[in-house]
Structure 1
Amino acid sequence: MTINSHITTFAGLPVLEYVDGARADDPAAVAWRIEDPDYDGGDVFRARLAALVAEPWADRITALILGSWGSTYDSAPPLELVIEAAAKLPALTALFIGEITFEECEISWIQQGDITPVLEAFPKLEVLTVRGTEDLQLKPLRHTGLRKLTFEAGGLPAEIVRAVGECDLPALQHLELWLGTDNYGGDATVDDLTHILIGSRLPSLTYLGLRDAEIADLVAAALAGAPIVARLTELDLSLGILSDVGASALLAGQPLIHLLKLDLHHHYISEPVMDRLNAELGEAGVAVDLSDAGDPEDVDERYVAVAE
């Protein structure tokens, strides 16, 4: 799987590209997207962001998408401009940093920076999505507004996984981590997930996605006894290299029939174990997604869906 097209909706809103003079009947009813069409960079991104923030209706903007800022492979996004504009964006509740296709920059090449000041500057932020993790930083903090947090990566560094687990996020309902592969910086282990799996800092969580994981079998085994699972309505282990080992561990662990959905698509589970999943969970009312099955016998050809 490659990310080959831009999103058309974000935070439940249609996306509208902002160029000078762009207008919407209701500025709060669209997700505004800023990008520099020149992949090698220039001042277009900064100029467009400055122009958007200077609009007389900027205080009504609820969703903002940062596309390519130019030279995304060797420069971090100018988050300082977003932070400086916080007072002019009081209604902002959704932010996407790095909504970039593979043609513009491979996901593992996208430079990021420290997103902690962004969360501090926008205490009312409810949705944050970050794509790419090169030089990404996050310091543990408390944020009472955040409801959905997503990190999309070909490899999510262990220090980011640990930092997420050490954050106090009392309102968070949706946590999605693309763990990826060690070849592209995804060096997290199950131990790094400890605080997330305990869930004491995530009292409202109902969706947990530990996706695109090279260590999917180990993650599944840890989830089999993890306290957080009992509170979930959806568990998502899709896009990784889950095999019979991990799937069997899930079946042998704590009951999962309280889930509304178990998403395992893009996997390497055999037919007999898939039959067990459908019989033990599907027939109990859990929507089990077992689509995009790979060959369970060809161990050397297993791959996560998103890497480079």
Structure 2
Amino acid sequence: MDYAAHLTELHGLPAFDFPAPGAKEQLPEPEAVAWRISHDPYAGEEEKSFAERFQRFLDTVDTSRVRALIFGIWGESYGCDSSTVIEPLVAAKDRLAALEALFIGDIEAEEAEISWIEQSDVTPVLHAFPGLRELGIRGGTKLAFPAVRHEHLRTLRFETGGLPGRVVRGVGESELPALERLEMWLGVEEYGGDATVADLGGLLAGSRFPALRHLGLQNSEIQDEIAAAVATAPVVAQLTSLSLAMGLLTDAGAEALLAGQPLTHLASLDLHYNFLSEAMEQRLREALEPSGVELDLSEKGEEEEDEDEDGDGETWRYTAVAE
């Protein structure tokens, strides 16, 4: 999934919307679904805040058996940040002892553009839930992730149109010995994506993440620079899958990959949504597919030609996700 759409599942469990007050819908067993809790301030419902809805969830469901939570819209886009959902969640930690997976910001474009989602420091949930296995975040505005240690987190995913460099550095400085999958949509500077290749140093070294097997450094306007850094990065040797998709990857970045360390040990290399020439695509196939690498070169990136009256101009290229 590239664009921000509502999750259909989390942690292998189907998403289920906790109903509005008065609904007659039969509730599933607490551990059988990923519970999505949302509060649309414009829906005219009896409950006036996310806090009220979350409290009813705690009072209605046997939360001691809940394994996965999805937080959708929690208020007006510019009116409140994700501390609105994080604070009551952390306060209820003793009632959610079985929680293994959490996604904060399951908000699609019709509700709020991804760059409008206001996040906050999300690391309190890692301190509160030492058994958490999976954490996903959508939206990079005001997002913070200071360095943290967590023994059991296996999957960490950031979906943004602009991921702050301080977040990238915070993850790179964290101690996450069980982390197997890390995905970052780095985005563009216009929407807060100011991370540089230098900010990725802690991730690319690999020493802090001995269990890491999938790395996604995606959706970036500096995708060629990232590809060049990945080409010599120590972490690549331990990976089974790598994604450099969704960004402004051109032949220059692909050339760096081909000239760098061998990638033939990978099970998959995802380069979908790219700006590669047909000749470069063929070179990549010839270099990798005979070794069994599943190579995704699908979907060309979006670009526009801007010409003046004299026929001069430039080409504008766009990442898959920005605003």
Band of TM-score, shorter chain: over 0.9
Map of 1:126 onto structure 2: 133
Can you list the C-alpha shifts for 1:252-287, whole angstroms capped at 9, x where unaligned? 000000000000000001111100100000121100
Map of 2:321 onto structure 1: 306
Can you list the C-alpha shifts for 1:60-117, whole angstroms capped at 9, x where unaligned? 0000000000113331121110000100000000000000001111111111111111
Label 1:97 to 1:296 Cα distance change in 2 as closer, same or farther (>3 A): closer
* C-alpha deviation, 1:23, in angstroms: 4.5
Q: Check the 8 A contact 2:5/2:106 in 1, yes or no.
A: no
Can you list the C-alpha shifts for 1:219-244, whole angstroms capped at 9, x where unaligned? 00000000000000100011101000
- From 24, 28, 31, the counterpart of 2:31: 28
* C-alpha deviation, 1:39, in angstroms: 4.9
Label 1:126 to 1:56 Cα distance change in 2 as closer, same or farther (>3 A): same
How many angstroms apart in 2 are the aligned matches of 1:39 and 1:209?
36
How many angstroms apart in 1 are the aligned matches of 2:2 and 2:111?
12
Q: Check the 8 A contact 1:270/1:296 in 2, yes or no.
A: no
How many angstroms apart in 2 are the aligned matches of 1:39 and 1:188?
35
Structure 2 counterpart SS, 1:82: helix
Give 5+ residue unaligned stretches, structure 1: none
* C-alpha deviation, 1:10, in angstroms: 1.2
Instruction: Name the aligned partner's letter for residue 300 of structure 1.
Output: T
- From 92, 100, 109, the counterpart of 1:93: 100
Q: RMSD of the TM alignment (CA)?
A: 2.0
Map of 2:72 onto structure 1: 67
Give 5+ residue unaligned stretches, structure 2: 306-313
| TM-score in terms of structure 2 length | 0.91
Structure 2 counterpart SS, 1:118: helix
Structure 2 counterpart SS, 1:105: coil
How many angstroms apart in 1 are the aligned matches of 2:258 and 2:213?
20
Between 174-183 and 133-142, report the one with greater CA deviation.
133-142
Q: Check the 8 A contact 2:304/2:316 in 1, yes or no.
A: no
* C-alpha deviation, 1:301, in angstroms: 2.6
| TM-score in terms of structure 1 length | 0.95
- From 228, 245, 255, the counterpart of 1:248: 255
Equivalent runs, 1:201-220 vs 2, <5 Å: 201-220=208-227
Instruction: Report the count of equivalent residues.
Output: 308
